[in-house]
Amino acid sequence: MRGFGAGVVLAALVTAAACGGGDSGGSSSHAGRVRNDRKPATVGDVVVRTETFVDPSRPTDPPVGTPGRTLVTTIRFPQTGGPYPLIVLAHGFDGHPRKFTELTEAWARAGYVVAAPTFPLTNDELGPGRTVVADYTNQPADVSFVIDEMLELSEGKDDPLRGRLDGDRIGVAGLSVGGVTTFAVTYNTCCRDPRIDAAITMAGARFPYDGEYELAGVPLLLFHGDADPSLPYAGSVEAYADAAAPKFFVTVLGGGHSPPFEDDDDPADEMVTAVTIDFWNLFLAALPGARQALLGDATVDGLSSLQYEDV
């Protein structure tokens, strides 16, 4: 994600329109899918495919300016077996799912179906000066819509996802503005999706929505670099303090904004991959030993520290 300073964030907060009230989970107002021409690819034992989900019930503002919300979504899942929990990953401002290939592939190899949508107005394909940070208010509903569409795919008679996806075990994760999205869709009364069972925020923050944050009821894992130049580390410190258990907070010592989480080479890469998988294994897959693995993997001398509180 391109770093943005306090001035840009302040402008976004002043000009952003708040999202609509009420829970967004389980909405049936979505309208469909556009099948992409490219066939699913197999990378080792992981299937990679792209679906274009289109929600006609909500418009996309300029510079795109379309009557619906188009979400090109990269999906990764194990080639065999299942059913597996679903994880939706939200990219950051000026970001894209392609920047998370290593992390999403690792999650799929660990036994998860991963859907990473490209948000209409915050992705880097729009070009310089065309991304709109204020569109963060619309992204929680995008995440819920993607969950709807993924569950529908898993029920398709001839779809490769049939029998692979467990709709009763759903996680959401996000980086930066994707972390903002994750906080909102999981914990804000404006747009909370009750189907979400676990959440991870990476260098995230709680931006204002037309609702209140209630950080309870869903296990939370926070990551933040204590040298983040873009979104304040203190924001995650405060979120951890406000959250109910179970909660875990990994500080990346000397860590910046996006490199520990995207495909950039970073000393924290292996730690982040291991801890996120441990967290999903604990709260989505309920695997024995996952808690102890998380506590061990999250504490690396000179690299990371962990605060946590169990129920």
What pLDDT, on the 0 to 100 scale, is given for residue 17? 32
The two tokens of residue 273 are: 């991959």
What pLDDT, on the 0 to 100 scale, is given for residue 31? 53
Question: Model confidence over 214-262: pLDDT tens digits?
Answer: 999 999 999 999 999 999 999 999 999 999 999 999 999 999 999 999 9
Q: Which residue bears the tokens 């993607």? A: 146
The two tokens of residue 311 are: 């129920």
What pLDDT, on the 0 to 100 scale, is given for residue 39? 53
What pLDDT, on the 0 to 100 scale, is given for residue 123? 96
**Residue 267 region, left (φ>0) first, then alpha (ψ -120 to 50), else beta?**
alpha
Please tell me the pTM assigned to this model.
Answer: 0.89
All domains in the chain, ordered by first residue: 25-309 (3.40.50.1820)
Q: Which portions of the chain are predicted below pLDDT 50?
A: 1-30, 35-38
- What are the Cα distances from residue 299, in Å, to 173, 230, 283? 21, 24, 19
| φ, ψ dihedrals at 117, nearest 5° | -75, 150
- What are the Cα distances from residue 110, in Å, to 87, 107, 179, 279? 12, 5, 22, 12
